[in-house]
Structure 1
């Protein structure tokens, strides 16, 4: 069977090819010792012979989806030529995330390593979002550690008839999707007056700039205790913290609910899709500048998660969108806002992921990186904050990206709002410099 790109795969491919906005996923491991070169090379080899070893092959038949083919090469580990200081780690990670990847010609991923001046080291894995989402990111490393070569597409040249049949299937799926969308219930489940992101005309600097980004290692026991004290979970506290960061910045007001977007994995067993993530939304209601009712957030999240795979009009129209020409997709994207508040909780990381070469990491930061953004573009898309939370042993690592250049003018402002919010919850935290 020919392995075709899903709607989400195609969406990220077009973001890069049509809009010039590549999206990548990055993990950064911090170690208290150095890693031998031979172990890094072995990890890279195993990653390349697993599910990361795939590239996009486009179809010549209009309407037929592109397919996945195995990559013929494995990119070598990019080793930094000299030790970096601890306060250069995030800058080094930013540089690694900005390295060009190509999911069509390759490579679609990059492994990099640098010793640190404190006698430790850092490791970065960057994967094109076309090649894989967060689930693929984690599973590819776990499988590499276990020596499992899973998810690599088989070499099966597509015949013309296969592409013709796929194009016909897409047309049929698109027609059914349009009919389903017309019959599906309309409207939002969010309460009236909920604060959401909205697009507006671009203003200000249009040259690419890295938006403010901050990372904190938090004491997991204190985080759990704070959540429990308010009837919540680690995830509901995560949502509350991000909402309070928005409140502190003035991006949202305290007298109306705030829309919070929550990614949800739709990946099943033996699922070889590159992207298998959907999402739900809840409304979080501040009270006097704080968000302390974690029980309500927890209940709302559970209700929303049960609807993650419901056939909404947007999901039903995905086959049609995948058939649209690039120019029309680009025009549609201009009117698509980015989330006001997006909380991606990656949870407890598997032991193999936390120690990809056998050496356990002291902390792990995971994030998505969008290239080619500028203050003008961010202002036009109406975003707020996006964050990722990971747990490694007794450390929770919180990574926060600010997408509003007016309320988060620089990294210092974002770091201050985040530090103050964590202190308000009595969670000890140490910032990555």
Structure 2
């Protein structure tokens, strides 16, 4: 995820943050669990001993945490260390090269439980071409993208595969440990009383600040909330399987294409995502398209499970392209300028967060209230997550650099009715390693991007216009 020059400092609290609580409520109240998954395509045969060594490193790392509720009303839940983990799944049947995503989808349905454990899962399989696959899945309650990557790098170091480039969570003394249940039992009630009192004060102050800010000004760009609210359908209760399409290209070509258009790698990602929506008919040319960009606020030794913020920009699609770029609609110079301005505001703390003042109150409300509030929640029309250049240790989790890596978010338990209600367009994740730039796109519009062929056709046309060679998984 893109990081601003300055970020929030490390929190010393062992309490769940608002974002931790949000993902926990999504699972508990709506029955929809969000997980992060990385899939590595490795050019070497599967070695079960290496998988077990990596698993051992993860089992002693910062992901071994579970949620414990507060003992008093209003007190936030807290983290406690856990000893429970799933054994690694090591399959013997080779996976065909054209069925990698099917295998990955199956692993992404791991039954993770942030309140009782386990909170992560590891799986591996050989491929028919002689290589191997590795899947690492974490509950989003326990780990955002930064924690997901950092914990894996610490496990790589613990397994002895690499001594350098091990990320923020490995040190000479090993990963920092959370308190186990009972270790603070004598001061637990006092701590909860203090936390509940602090939360109540913050909630009252937040309400006053929100009142001073006034109503939220409308965003004059296409977004999910602008799309028609769906009516009931006969298949609303059927499971939803939104398609994911993954494509590799040459990283150097990606950077050259971005630079030639006056942008950066991140600008090109946002442009490509916007143009996929336009190519599929999800967005309308001539109208700005609102794109959400996650931003990591994580710093060294930061053990927060979720430390991610975000920005939102309106992408201009009204420009007239030069003849040599006919069909390329998004203006990368405008994207670059708008993104840079939002990053500066986020880093300086001058950007107005309309939701921020209400977060303490929202974290205190009971589940029944949270469920009613979530009924009309929508997804971003476009979410473009730039994971950047992957650390070497993360790209080589078993000691050998992967030929291709996909990191993505997966929502378990979605129904077709819920997916329509979210009114999203697409989610995208981009990363780079060893000269390969990988883009994964998840189609969230059932009608226009509901099949892999629809997503791939839109991606092929956009990549061709930007002169990017496409190697689909």
* TM-score, shorter chain, exceeding 0.5: yes
- Structure 2 equivalent of residue 407 of structure 1: 448
Tell me whether 1:256 sits opposite 2:283 in the alignment. no
Once the two structures are overlaid, the 10-residue window that deviates more, 361-370 or 200-209, is 200-209
- Structure 1 equivalent of residue 89 of structure 2: 78
TM-score of the aligned structures, taking structure 1 as reference length = 0.96
Kindly state the Cα deviation for residue 217 of structure 1 after the two structures are TM-superposed: 0.8
Q: Deviations over 1:70-126 (max 9, x none)?
A: 111332211123111111110010001112110111100000001101000010000
- Structure 2 equivalent of residue 179 of structure 1: 208
Return the alpha-carbon distance in structure 2 between the equivalents of residues 188 and 393 of structure 1: 44
Return the alpha-carbon distance in structure 2 between the equivalents of residues 177 and 151 of structure 1: 33
- Structure 2 equivalent of residue 152 of structure 1: 177
Kindly state the Cα deviation for residue 182 of structure 1 after the two structures are TM-superposed: 1.6
Tell me whether 1:231 sits opposite 2:256 in the alignment. no
- Structure 1 equivalent of residue 222 of structure 2: 195
Given that 1:55 and 1:108 are in contact with CA atoms closer than 8 Å, whether structure 2 keeps it comes out as yes
Given that 1:203 and 1:380 are in contact with CA atoms closer than 8 Å, whether structure 2 keeps it comes out as no
Given that 1:202 and 1:377 are in contact with CA atoms closer than 8 Å, whether structure 2 keeps it comes out as no
* 53, 69, 73: which one aligns with 1:58: 69
C-alpha change, 1:304 and 1:356, in structure 2 (3 Å) is: same
SS of the equivalent of 2:30 reads coil
Kindly state the Cα deviation for residue 171 of structure 1 after the two structures are TM-superposed: 0.7
Kindly state the Cα deviation for residue 305 of structure 1 after the two structures are TM-superposed: 1.3
Given that 1:58 and 1:65 are in contact with CA atoms closer than 8 Å, whether structure 2 keeps it comes out as yes
Given that 1:230 and 1:292 are in contact with CA atoms closer than 8 Å, whether structure 2 keeps it comes out as no
Kindly state the Cα deviation for residue 227 of structure 1 after the two structures are TM-superposed: 0.6
- Structure 2 equivalent of residue 97 of structure 1: 108
Q: Summarize the alignment of residues 296-315 of structure 1 with structure 2, pairs less than 5 Å apart.
A: 296-308=334-346, 309=349, 310-315=351-356
- Structure 2 equivalent of residue 324 of structure 1: 365
- Structure 1 equivalent of residue 410 of structure 2: 369
Tell me whether 1:291 sits opposite 2:329 in the alignment. yes
Q: Deviations over 1:41-68 (max 9, x none)?
A: 1111111211111111112311111111
TM-score of the aligned structures, taking structure 2 as reference length = 0.88
Q: Deviations over 1:149-181 (max 9, x none)?
A: 324313333421211211111111111111122
Return the alpha-carbon distance in structure 2 between the equivalents of residues 331 and 60 of structure 1: 25
Kindly state the Cα deviation for residue 325 of structure 1 after the two structures are TM-superposed: 0.8
Given that 1:184 and 1:312 are in contact with CA atoms closer than 8 Å, whether structure 2 keeps it comes out as no
SS of the equivalent of 1:388 reads strand
- Structure 1 equivalent of residue 79 of structure 2: 68
C-alpha change, 1:253 and 1:145, in structure 2 (3 Å) is: same
Given that 2:275 and 2:330 are in contact with CA atoms closer than 8 Å, whether structure 1 keeps it comes out as no
Given that 2:267 and 2:332 are in contact with CA atoms closer than 8 Å, whether structure 1 keeps it comes out as yes
Tell me whether 1:169 sits opposite 2:198 in the alignment. yes
Q: Deviations over 1:4-51 (max 9, x none)?
A: 111000100010011000000000000011232121111111112111
Given that 1:25 and 1:128 are in contact with CA atoms closer than 8 Å, whether structure 2 keeps it comes out as yes
- How many pairs were matched up? 430
Kindly state the Cα deviation for residue 311 of structure 1 after the two structures are TM-superposed: 5.0
- Structure 2 equivalent of residue 393 of structure 1: 434
SS of the equivalent of 1:41 reads helix
Given that 1:341 and 1:385 are in contact with CA atoms closer than 8 Å, whether structure 2 keeps it comes out as yes
- Structure 1 equivalent of residue 5 of structure 2: none
Given that 1:203 and 1:379 are in contact with CA atoms closer than 8 Å, whether structure 2 keeps it comes out as no
Kindly state the Cα deviation for residue 334 of structure 1 after the two structures are TM-superposed: 1.2
Given that 1:181 and 1:312 are in contact with CA atoms closer than 8 Å, whether structure 2 keeps it comes out as no
